[in-house]
């Protein structure tokens, strides 16, 4: 590790003074600084204290000037004559308020360098300790460097005022959208209404026995968001190759029998329909990764790189949990699943997108007279239910019955929702098209 003793950490006192002075001279400068800077970005404790007072004033909608800043700071501690003089001199230290963005960039650069120095120390300590697998250290080092660059480490503890401002903004967005939803639409109206859409940071489990169409349902949601709404949707498929995913999406979008697509036994019209489906899928916001050995850390790294390019990720789909593993040593598979669900929940918050995680169910439901799944059927770990914000089961009546009336009948069962109701929603399963669709069976029967 390089010698750092006696070295002054990177900083620019002049840029910090210029920012604080500009904030007292211009409302626009105050807003620009609050949008990009955090208290910890300032090098001196004095500047951090001054900026904290200014930040509070902006959050409260109050003007930022010498009088209001002094009043705000003296709520905690009376200022000395030297401190009052220093505050009043700040406006004289501003070369030009028009350069506020440049001052902010300088302070952010210095702040990031200080964080990287700290992170390098942590990484060095881990390497010398040698208590973890080298690959795990590399993964953790990547996380530490990313968090330093994204500056997420210092803003987790906030005053309730900040949380309320964020909540009010989301409610206002939902009101303006007229949809009544806080999150993104899945294309399944009753499910959207129940869940209020898929929301940022949620871990959503979609579970079912093999053959229930979990992958198809997730792809239906991905297609609705990525093709119809042009949202950025990332699909991690640990089971199917990308060409298989593409084939499913093509047949689904073109409403063409998937078996015919796989066999190539197609009419000229069906060939044309598939060709027509290429354009909307090609112009969509869909991305696919078919690595069969990808871990959570690798997923995070890929999502972060994509987010830098697209600016936002709206949905992540992972197919499926039981094919995933961790690089760390665990006592048993149940503990490993617990680690996976916990880190995937963290990833959802980190990326700022809902994460749909597909999961297998145990055979317990098939041993019961009532085959409908329950939360206790979640395979291998109770942590799946604990970490999930939403748990959805897929159940098909025709899977267990030869009755003609049961054909195509299925249910989306919202078994858990951390902040809302649970319910079952009737849907129609079209196996030939690998599609689920909401229906009103009672209305169908009346018409029949």
Ordered DSSP codes for 41-95: GSSSHHHHHHHHHHHHHHHTT---SHHHHHHHHTTTSPPPHHHHHHHHHHGGG-S
C-alpha dist (Å) from residue 340 to 11, 335, 362:
39, 9, 18
Residues 233 and 135 in one domain: no
Would 311 be classed as within a structural domain? yes
Residues 289 and 248 in one domain: yes
Q: Write out the two tokens for 27.
A: 């409302």
The 10s digit of each residue's pLDDT in 129-183 is: 887 778 777 777 776 776 666 554 444 556 677 667 766 666 666 565 555 567 8
pLDDT at 442: 42
Would 8 be classed as within a structural domain? no
Residues 140 and 186 in one domain: no
Q: Write out the two tokens for 153.
A: 């480490």
Q: Write out the two tokens for 396.
A: 């098909």
Residues 289 and 342 in one domain: yes
Residues 225 and 336 in one domain: yes
Would 233 be classed as within a structural domain? yes
Q: What is the mean pLDDT of the chain?
A: 83
Structural domain ending residue among the three candidates 150, 167, 201:
150
- Asked if residues 108 and 96 have their Cβ atoms less than 8 Å apart, the reply is no
CATH code of the domain in which 384 resides: 3.40.50.300
CATH code of the domain in which 27 resides: 1.10.860.10
Domain of residue 60: give its range. 13-150
Would 32 be classed as within a structural domain? yes
Looking at the 3D structure of the chain, how many domains does it have? Answer: 2
Q: Rounded CA gap, 25 and 90, in Å?
A: 10
Would 159 be classed as within a structural domain? no
Q: Rounded CA gap, 344 and 318, in Å?
A: 10
DSSP string, 174-231: HHHHTS--SSB--S-HHHHHHHTSB-TT-EEEEEE-TTS-HHHHHHHHHHIIIIIS--
**Strands, DSSP E only, in 294-350?**
315-319
Q: Which of 83, 239, 270, 438 is catalytic?
A: 239
Provide the 10 A C-beta neighbour count for residue 248: 22
Which carries the bigger pLDDT value, residue 213 or residue 22?
Answer: 22
pLDDT at 446: 38
Handedness of CA 231, 235, 240, 241 (dihedral sign): positive
Would 205 be classed as within a structural domain? yes
Residues 317 and 406 in one domain: yes
Structural domain ending residue among the three candidates 135, 150, 165:
150
- Asked if residues 414 and 195 have their Cβ atoms less than 8 Å apart, the reply is yes
Q: Write out the two tokens for 74.
A: 């003296």
Residues 203 and 321 in one domain: yes
Q: Is 298 a catalytic residue?
A: no
Percentage of the residues of the chain whose pLDDT score is greater than 90: 33
Lowest mean pLDDT among 25-39, 51-65, 367-381, 401-415: 367-381
Would 204 be classed as within a structural domain? yes
Mean pLDDT of all residues in 15-22: 96
pLDDT at 325: 74
Structural domain ending residue among the three candidates 103, 134, 150:
150
Residues 250 and 386 in one domain: yes
Residues 200 and 330 in one domain: yes
Residues 122 and 187 in one domain: no
Which carries the bigger pLDDT value, residue 254 or residue 88?
Answer: 88
Residues 120 and 229 in one domain: no
Strand order in the sheet with 390-396: 286-289, 233-237, 315-319, 355-360, 203-208, 390-396, 409-417, 423-430, 435-438
pTM of the model: 0.64
- Asked if residues 426 and 409 have their Cβ atoms less than 8 Å apart, the reply is yes
Provide the 10 A C-beta neighbour count for residue 425: 19
Q: Which residue has the tokens 């208290």?
A: 39
- Under DSSP, the state recorded for 265 is -
Residues 428 and 372 in one domain: yes
Q: Coil, strand, or helix at residue 422?
A: coil
Would 161 be classed as within a structural domain? no
């Amino acid at each position: 590790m390089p010698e750092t003793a006696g070295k002054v950490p990177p900083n620019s006192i002049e840029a910090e003074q210029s920012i604080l002075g500009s904030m007292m001279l211009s409302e626009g400068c105050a807003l620009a600084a609050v949008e990009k800077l955090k208290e910890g970005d300032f090098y001196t404790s004095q500047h951090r204290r001054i900026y904290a007072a200014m930040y509070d004033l902006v959050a409260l909608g109050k003007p930022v000037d010498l009088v209001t800043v002094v009043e705000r700071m003296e709520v905690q501690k009376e200022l000395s004559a030297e401190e009052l003089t220093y505050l009043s001199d700040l406006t004289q230290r501003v070369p030009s308020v028009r350069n506020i963005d440049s001052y902010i960039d300088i302070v952010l650069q210095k702040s990031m360098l200080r964080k990287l120095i700290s992170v390098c120390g942590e990484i060095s300590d881990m390497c010398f300790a040698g208590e973890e697998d080298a690959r795990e250290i590399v993964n953790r080092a990547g996380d530490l460097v990313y968090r330093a660059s994204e500056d997420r480490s210092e803003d987790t503890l906030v005053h309730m005022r900040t949380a309320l401002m964020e909540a009010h903004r989301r409610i206002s967005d939902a009101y303006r959208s007229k949809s009544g939803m806080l999150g993104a639409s899945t294309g399944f109206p009753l499910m959207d209404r129940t869940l209020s859409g898929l929301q940022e940071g949620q871990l959503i489990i979609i579970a079912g026995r093999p053959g229930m169409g979990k992958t198809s349902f997730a792809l239906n949601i991905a297609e609705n968001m990525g093709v119809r709404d042009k949202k950025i949707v990332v699909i991690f498929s640990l089971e199917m190759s990308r060409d298989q995913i593409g084939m499913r999406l093509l047949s689904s979008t073109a409403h063409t029998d998937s078996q015919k697509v796989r066999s190539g036994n197609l009419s000229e019209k069906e060939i044309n329909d598939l060709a027509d489906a290429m354009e909307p899928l090609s112009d969509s916001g869909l991305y696919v990764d078919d690595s069969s050995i990808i871990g959570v850390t690798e997923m995070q790294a890929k999502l972060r790189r994509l987010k830098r390019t697209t600016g936002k990720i709206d949905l992540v789909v992972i197919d499926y949990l039981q094919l995933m593993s961790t690089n760390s040593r665990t006592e048993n598979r149940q503990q490993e699943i617990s680690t996976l669900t916990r880190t995937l929940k963290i990833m959802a918050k980190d990326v700022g997108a809902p994460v749909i995680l597909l999961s297998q169910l145990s055979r317990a439901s098939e041993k019961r007279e009532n085959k409908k799944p329950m939360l206790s059927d979640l395979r291998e770990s109770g942590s799946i239910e604990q970490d999930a914000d939403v748990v959805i089961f897929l159940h098909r009546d025709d899977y267990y019955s030869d009755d003609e009336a049961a054909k195509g009948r299925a249910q989306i069962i919202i078994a858990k929702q951390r902040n809302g109701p649970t319910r079952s929603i009737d849907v129609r399963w079209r196996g030939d098209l690998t599609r689920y669709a909401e229906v009103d069976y009672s209305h169908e029967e009346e018409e029949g």
